[in-house]
Structure 1
């Protein structure tokens, strides 16, 4: 089991919280400051626990859920247990949403990917609601899922978004499977994995196809007064919001727009929440090209690629792994593999080490430019090429035959010396 990540994974990126420090609303500024300071403190605690192995092991419980109420305190050990697997539904909607969200994520991993909870060993699922006063975030700290209520002006209760819950719990899955380091490209890939599977948890729960899904992350966390679609858009990175409060969504959708930021807490560890837009878009393109339910073939390809990854895996290596996994799972040159190839190519990442095959290069280009694996078009193009070559060969054969015919009248007295004719000129005249 891999455990190299020493990070606190939060759904709200620091650049959004820093924007709130500029707000004219004193309460909004204070809530943002408290959230940033509280997150930094928690990140330090998380690092210490991971370093010394404190609290990282617990008896397997087959993913048993327990929800605790922090009662607006920042002290998790003082939270009150309010709902368990054996308990009744709570009168507190936040408690119930957290309980149901943990359950939906657990069942998704169990039924779709045959995984037993976060660590695949039945790890218990603890959720904490009403964390802090006006806390503008939700996070996974390596042991439990914690939800703030939001400041009520910019952000609302973070239990309201199922894909946020799936996102945060997937950080735990990634930590146990690949341990992707939380900085630069490996960190952006870490964030992307959480967006991918967070969205898939929601799609699976709603029974949506790839075409029906909204591909938005955290559409419910903004208050109605904020003009924003969501925190991120996997379908169109860079378009989730554009308003006076938060500015324009900075996510790129292509490697040519990759954002270089300092590998510091203030720089979001190299822009992990920003550059995740690139692999997010690649997954969206792959899923819609394959069609149907994205939690089937696309999810399995990405999950198997994650299992084959390590702490320092970056975009190029992961793209190559998804291509190889698609070939192993569904066959070389299958529609699934061609969709993966086209999806990454459209975001500026070309699969490395592809074999050169006669007369297939043009077919591959046709597939990639279409954004999906249209094998029918490729076969048609190949058939036309073969037909053209055959016509040229036939014409050449006629020319050769004509030339031979013109050369047949040889010098007088000489006869043809075709195979099987043993008579010499002299014996013919005798």
Structure 2
């Protein structure tokens, strides 16, 4: 290696989780022994309980609730405590443009990075989770390199690190500011978190934002942070599968739920609020328009909930354009964050304004691209602060 750098301390960045806290809360409350915080009750109060649900229940409620509580408590504790050991490590940067992946195994313990299992160029492991993580990181690197000529998340060849088998039956995956971490799932609600490329790419999308427009993780700017990561996750998955905008599922976390769950994914970008409707998890509470915007103090002001609004705007925009979503629509979104002109506390209206200005710069004022984008924002009820004579 030609260069060593110190990454931002992990404790200075929030842990970005694939499974939102409102979904974990529904799981933790499923045996009736756990009471959700006051500010969370409004989100889950309308969701059906097990006692009212129709049909057989094929999972053990107490076991699910216990695991969900453990996951929530662990996440809350580590938010404030993110191991100072990370701050003392020297993390290597590969500046030559070569893909460099390192996959480690936490072996069921809540530690990172764990034991090194597979590094760049080594043969596949006997462990499917190691190989899926390795491949997933490679797909993200290839997407950035091919589409945006970007050398890894930071543009300077950042080593892509992943830890698998984190914790015991851990029901989540996250980006901790330095690497990707994946739990095995409980096998009853969730499969292994290496099983979804959109989830892997979503979490690495938070890493990309960390090195471009590091949107504040609160309220609407936090929801944009989550939404842009969802866009990135969906685009990587579509790019690898070769799905155009019309035929893509627009699902985040497809295949992550076990067959016991009545649902298809964690989130639907094209139809927020429809990803699941399950006796334990309840109904997907994501809003699809500003008229349904959720005001809450939980989840940093509803960052995983209200992200459904800009998610839908992007999906509608991409479908209106036709062809591959990662080309015109994806490039426009990427250019907005890569130029670093977006305020870190941007709200939806500010982001919409910046995307429209970017459309004018890339395609000209009054273009079909700008018209499709205006229509998408209008459909979800976001009004950009854009004057007709704005051209910069």
Q: Give the structure-2-normalised TM-score.
A: 0.85
Question: Which of the pair has the greater relative contact order for Cα pairs under 8 Å at 6+ separation?
Answer: 2
Structure 2, unaligned runs of 5 or more = 1-6, 32-60
Q: How far did residue 55 of structure 1 move?
A: 4.7
1:316 pairs with one of 349, 358, 362: 349
Q: CA–CA distance in 2 between the matches of 1:306 and 1:285? A: 20
1:280 is aligned to 2:280 = no
1:213 is aligned to 2:248 = yes
Contact 1:341 1:350 in 2 (8 A): no
How large is the Cα RMSD of the aligned pairs?
2.0
2:337 pairs with one of 303, 306, 320: 306
1:165 pairs with one of 191, 197, 200: 200
Structure 1, unaligned runs of 5 or more = 357-430
Cα–Cα, structure 1 residues 228 and 56, in superposed 2: closer, same or farther, change >3 Å? farther
Bigger proportion of residues as helix: 1
Q: CA–CA distance in 2 between the matches of 1:55 and 1:172? A: 18
Q: CA–CA distance in 1 between the matches of 2:386 and 2:152? A: 36
Contact 2:8 2:177 in 1 (8 A): no
Matched residue, 1:249: 284
1:60 is aligned to 2:94 = yes
Q: CA–CA distance in 1 between the matches of 2:131 and 2:334? A: 29
Matched residue, 2:23: 16
- What do the CA deviations read for 1:385-414 (whole angstroms, capped 9, x no partner)? xxxxxxxxxxxxxxxxxxxxxxxxxxxxxx
Contact 1:7 1:46 in 2 (8 A): no
1:292 is aligned to 2:328 = no
Matched residue, 1:37: 73
- What do the CA deviations read for 1:42-87 (whole angstroms, capped 9, x no partner)? 222349689xx6558543354410111111111225x211111121
Q: CA–CA distance in 2 between the matches of 1:347 and 1:256? A: 8
Q: CA–CA distance in 1 between the matches of 2:370 and 2:8? A: 30
Q: CA–CA distance in 1 between the matches of 2:119 and 2:80? A: 29
- What do the CA deviations read for 1:101-138 (whole angstroms, capped 9, x no partner)? 00001110111111111111110011111111010000
Contact 2:245 2:323 in 1 (8 A): yes
Q: How far did residue 350 of structure 1 move?
A: 2.5
1:84 is aligned to 2:119 = yes
Q: CA–CA distance in 1 between the matches of 2:150 and 2:275? A: 31
Q: SS of 1:134's equivalent?
A: coil
Contact 1:55 1:143 in 2 (8 A): no
Q: SS of 1:139's equivalent?
A: strand
Q: SS of 1:300's equivalent?
A: helix
Q: How far did residue 220 of structure 1 move?
A: 1.2
Q: SS of 2:211's equivalent?
A: helix
Cα–Cα, structure 1 residues 55 and 294, in superposed 2: closer, same or farther, change >3 Å? farther
- What do the CA deviations read for 1:296-345 (whole angstroms, capped 9, x no partner)? 00011111112331311111111001001011111111111111111101
1:327 is aligned to 2:373 = no
Q: CA–CA distance in 2 between the matches of 1:97 and 1:69? A: 13
Q: How far did residue 94 of structure 1 move?
A: 0.6
1:148 pairs with one of 164, 169, 183: 183
Q: CA–CA distance in 1 between the matches of 2:388 and 2:73? A: 52
Q: How far did residue 20 of structure 1 move?
A: 1.3
Q: CA–CA distance in 1 between the matches of 2:358 and 2:246? A: 23
Matched residue, 1:338: 371
2:106 pairs with one of 70, 77, 85: 70
Q: SS of 2:165's equivalent?
A: strand
Q: Which piece of structure 1 moves more, 144-153 or 33-42? A: 33-42
Q: CA–CA distance in 2 between the matches of 1:3 and 1:302? A: 25
2:274 pairs with one of 213, 235, 239: 239
Larger Rg, first or second structure (1 or 2): 1
Contact 1:98 1:127 in 2 (8 A): yes
Q: Which piece of structure 1 moves more, 175-184 or 25-34? A: 25-34
Contact 1:192 1:276 in 2 (8 A): yes
Q: CA–CA distance in 2 between the matches of 1:134 and 1:47? A: 21
